[in-house]
Amino acid sequence: MKRADDLKIGERAVIKDVDNSHPSSHRILEIGFTPGQEIELLNCSAFNDPLAFAIRGTIIAIRKKEAHCIHV
Amino acid sequence: MYSRINNKDKKAPLITLVGPPNSGKTTLYNYLSGKKSKTVNYPGSTVNYSVSKILSKHEINADILDSPGIISLIPTSPDERVSVDTLYKHPKYGHPDIVIVTVDASQLSRHLYLVKQMMESNFNLIVVVTMIDILKRNGKDIDIIKLSAILGCCVVKFDGRNADGIKHLLEKTRDKIVAIQKEEIILPVAKFQIDRDKLLLSYKQIEEIEEEVIIDNNNRRNGQLDISSINDNLVVLNNRRAFVKPDARTLKLDKVFLHKYWGLAIFFIAMSVVFTAIFWIAQPFMDWINTGFENLSSFTGELLGENLFSDLVSGGLIPGLGSVLVFLPQILILFFILELLEDSGYLARGAMLVDKPLSKIGLNGRSFVPMLSGFACAIPATMAARTIANKKERFLTIFILPLMSCSARIPVYALLVAFLTPKDKPYLGGIFFTLIYLFSIVSSLIIAAIANKFRDRIVKEKEDSSFIIELPAYRKPKVWINTKHAYKNAIQYVKKAGPVILILSLVLWVLTTFPNFDPSIPDADKLSAEEVSSAKNSERLAGSYAAMMGRFIEPVMKPMGMDWRIGVSLVATFAAREVFVSSLALIFKVTDDDEDTHNSLLTAMKEAKFEDTGQKLFTASTIIGLVVFFVFAMQCLSTTAIARKETGGWKIPILQIVVFTALAYAFTVVVVNGLKAVGVS
């Protein structure tokens, strides 16, 4: 199954689910990464991690580990 | 004690401002708050928020309270926890009568989440919609009346750039205040628990609200319906929401600022500019303050004559005050730059860039801001660490902060570098300074990496490291407000650190003055008054408590190639580093008659010899040794106090004192003897 950290820069995808594998998964939901929402990977940091996503009209940076629990 | 600002008979209503980060909350606070805004601490922690009377011209008698931004009523980091606790019940101010929530119109679906939680908790709300200009820039608008009807609470617009809408907000606030005096007080209900289904339902409802109130003018370009964007909107029917592009200008700028290579290059250039600015812009101001206090000191000394009181004022009080104020320029500039970077939107991006390397050594991208502030002063820096949610990362960040080269070290380094720099090659001084900074950064990172290996033994906490940060839209910083904030923060630093440093310099004065206050000078009648005075000064010091202490610790100083006199100065620096220069000046009998103290101290240092062997005391190797000592040693009581408060125990501050002082001593012994072994004098 594809996850948000598998996206390429500029690629858009719709969130299918957010799993509970990361302790911050509730915070990830709270900040707006909810199922049904379309996201786009905008940038990744010089060290390939964290990743910056466009979501709900803003940009949120999260680590790869956190992006990994977002199913797209 | 239950009192509010200027509380006379009846307590004034309390209005609390809350809102997600970057929602324009602080801007609104600045428009509403009066001059007498003060920063207060939440008891038990040092998280501060501002409280003030509403500006008198607004004709509302109420207190207004600003607290750190939150995105939900379920906190994840200490600063969020305090904001939430403050909402439910602040021990001193009680619970708010009215809560003003700021909501970014371009972020409606995310920011309404907090509003919904607040409404479910029964808070008496006024929703303030900000950043409508950004919404309009993207061809959209918002129907405030509809939003108010759907939410069932009062909603007003506010433009942070020109305070448009503030009149309406004040009107609504006045109405609410009248209303609450008639109504029964409804207390906010129980706190929120993590509940995934409820969260998803909330978002579903919010999305429906957003569909209703956001007007998209893009569909009607040239009076005609735009088919492509209608198609875009049709996806809603398929149970997925239309993609909302972030601010276009921000996306463009991020192509550069977050570029894989350019982004990193820009980051390093920006940081170099910051440090250069702090150093070079502050220097002349620091010199003025120094000279000013020296002149004041000698002037009052002459005015009051030769007595104990005169010495207390001109030798203890005034230099002590000067040693506090001398850092003000640097701290002001650093705070100003930090404000500027934050306001423009770059700071979050800087944190993102360094998250990966910092996480390798057990820190977090969010450690970036505390570490940067650490170059001004470890006290505000330690407080800034509370935005780090993970306890291990927070404690490790606090642990290494004293290694950041704070501004208190600058006068010390300035003296030592001046000693090393040949008169004909002044540019070497700048290079030495850069090397010291680089050395301190590199060594602090190495120490963090080593400490990280042991952190499981020091802090017991589950592994829940995370880095989630909003990269706000780039905005032109509001320079005037940034200046005001920097000024406020700097004043707060003076108030916090000032008394400690002042008291310590008085203690130092006592230790260097007594018990031998009035030594008799043989053949005094043959000497001029000035010579007698300077002879008395040196005799007094040689017989003082400080000298006794210094001689006691001399065996410890010897391996570092130093004697008791440097020892006394170093002991004094454990109270506050900046005391080093003034105590050296005192000990080497420097009088500030003609030359300025700095140069006469340098001359005195160059002439100083070991009392037993007659060898030169200050050589290149001992000076470099001293630099190394100052890079590592934990010499700041205020930092110890604040580290204890922020970590809630003595473990971290005691570790700091023991580890850093041991390291400082060991490295200095190795460096001094190593240098001597390879032939450096």
**What pLDDT digit, counting tens, does each position of B282-337 carry?**
878 888 888 888 888 888 888 887 778 888 888 778 877 777 787 788 778 888 88
Residues 256 through 315 of chain B touching chain A, CB cutoff 8 Å: 258-261, 263-264
pLDDT at A61: 95
B382 with B648: CB under 8 angstroms? no
CA-nearest of B362, B359, B355, B360 to B455 is B362
Residue B512 lies in a domain: no
Q: What is the pLDDT of residue A12?
A: 93
The order of strands in the sheet holding A38-44 is: A12-14, A38-44, A51-55, A58-62, B468-471
What is the ipTM for the molecules in this complex?
0.95
Over range B431-442, report the average pLDDT.
89
pLDDT over 70 percentage in chain B: 88
Residue B124 has pLDDT above 80, yes or no: yes
What residues of B are in contact with residue A42 (Cβ under 8 Å)?
A: 246, 251, 254, 258
Range of the domain at A67: 4-71
Please report whether residue B671 resides in a domain: no
Q: Is pLDDT of B338 > 50?
A: yes
- Please state, rounded to an integer, the average pLDDT across all residues of chain A: 91
Any domain includes B662: no
**Does position B489 have pLDDT exceeding 80, yes or no?**
no
* Residue B123 located in a structural domain: yes
Considering only CA atoms, which of B160, B150, B39, B164 is closest in space to residue B103? B160
Which of the pair, B317 or B446, is modelled with greater confidence?
B446
Confidence (pLDDT) at B349: 93
Contact B470, A59 (CB under 8 A): yes
Report the mean per-residue pLDDT for chain B. 81
Least confidently predicted of B56-65, B113-122, B166-175, B231-240: B231-240
Report if residue B546 sits inside a domain.
no
pLDDT (mean) for B560-583: 81
DSSP per-residue string spanning B374-409: TTT-HHHHHHHGGG--SHHHHHHHHHHGGGS--GGG
Query: Is B680's pLDDT higher than 90?
Result: no
More confident position, B217 or B418: B418
pLDDT band at B398 (very low <50, low <70, confident <90, very high): very high
| Partner-chain contact A50 B355, CB within 8 Å | yes
Residue in B closest to A38 by C-alpha: B243
Cα–Cα distance for residue pair B34/B46, rounded to 1 Å: 23
Domain count, chain B: 1
Distances (CA, A) of B164 to B170, B207, B404, B638: 12, 27, 43, 43
Kindly list the distances between the CA atom of residue B387 and the CA atoms of A31, B131, B213, B291, in Å, as whole numbers in the listed order. Answer: 16, 25, 33, 39
Minimal CA separation from A69 to chain B, in Å: 13
* pLDDT given at position B220: 55
Q: Which amino acid is at A30?
A: E
For residue B370, pLDDT over 60 is answered with yes
Q: What are the Cα distances from residue B171, in Å, to B97, B168, B183, B529? A: 16, 5, 18, 73
Q: Round to whole Å and give the CA distance between A40 and A52.
A: 9
Give the pLDDT mean for B260-266: 90
CATH code for position B35: 3.40.50.300
Highest mean pLDDT of the ranges B218-222, B232-236, B300-304: B300-304
Label residue B3 by pLDDT band (50, 70, 90): very low
Chain B residues lying within 8 Å of A59, measured CB to CB: 246, 250, 254, 470-471
Q: Do A37 and B260 touch (CB under 8 A)?
A: no
Question: How many domains does one find in chain A?
Answer: 1
Torsion sign (Cα): B173, B177, B178, B184: positive
The whole-angstrom separation of Cα B428 and Cα B422 is 8
Q: Is the pLDDT of residue B185 over 80?
A: no
Virtual torsion, Cα B23, B24, B25, B27, nearest 10 deg: 170
Confidence of residue B50 (pLDDT cuts 50, 70, 90): confident
Q: Write down the pLDDT at residue B497.
A: 67
Rounded CA-CA distance B369/B404 in Å is: 12
Helix ranges, B305-401 (H): 308-311, 318-325, 328-344, 346-360, 368-373, 378-384, 391-400
Q: Is the pLDDT of residue A55 over 60?
A: yes
* SS3 assignment, position B129: strand
> Which of B495-504, B564-573, B585-594, B641-650 shows the lowest per-residue confidence on average (mean pLDDT)?
B585-594
How many other CB atoms are found less than 10 A from the CB of residue B518? Answer: 11
pLDDT for the residue A8: 93
Of B133, B138, B135, which Cα lies nearest the Cα of B162?
Answer: B133
What residues make up the domain containing B78? 14-245
Q: What is the CATH number of the domain that holds A21?
A: 2.30.30.90
Q: Is the per-residue pLDDT at B46 higher than 50?
A: no
Question: Is pLDDT of B177 > 90?
Answer: no
**Taking CB atoms and an 8 Å limit, are B352 and A52 in contact across chains?**
yes
Any idea which of B130-134, B330-334, B527-531 has the lowest mean pLDDT? Answer: B527-531
At B241 the three-state DSSP class reads coil
DSSP string, B42-82: PTTS--EEEEEEB-GGG----EEEE----SSSS--SHHHHH
Residue B219 has what pLDDT?
62
- Alpha carbon distance B469, B559 (integer Å): 49
Does residue B410 lie in a domain region?
no
Name the token pair of B142: 């918002």
Question: What is the reported pLDDT for B461?
Answer: 67
Residue entry with tokens 């700021």: B102
Is pLDDT of B624 > 90? yes
| Amino acid B660: pLDDT | 94
Q: Residue range B53-71: average pLDDT?
A: 81
B158 vs B8, which has greater pLDDT? B158
% chain B with pLDDT above 90 = 19
Residue B589 lies in a domain: no
- Nearest Cα neighbor of B192 from B70, B337, B358, B44 is B70
pLDDT bin (cut points 50, 70, 90) of residue B179 is confident
- Chain-chain contact of B471 with A57 (C-beta, under 8 angstroms): no
- Would the pLDDT of A66 be above 60? yes
* Closest-CA residue to A28 (of B194, B434, B166): B194
Residue-level pLDDT at B587: 73
| Residue B543 confidence (pLDDT) | 80
Are residues B199 and A30, on separate chains, in Cβ contact within 8 Å? yes
C-alpha–C-alpha distance, residues B629 and B624, integer Å:
9
Q: Which two tokens stand for residue B525?
A: 């009648």
| A8 contacts A67 by C-beta, under 8 angstroms | no
Best CA proximity match to A14, nearest among B396, B476, B241: B241
User: Is residue B43 situated within a structural domain?
Assistant: yes
Structure-block tokens of residue B12: 């004034």
Q: What is the pLDDT of residue B657?
A: 92
Summarize pLDDT for B379-394 with one digit per residue, the tens.
878 888 888 888 889 9
Which element (helix H / strand E) includes B631? helix B620-632
Nearest CB to A38: which of B72, B76, B241?
B241
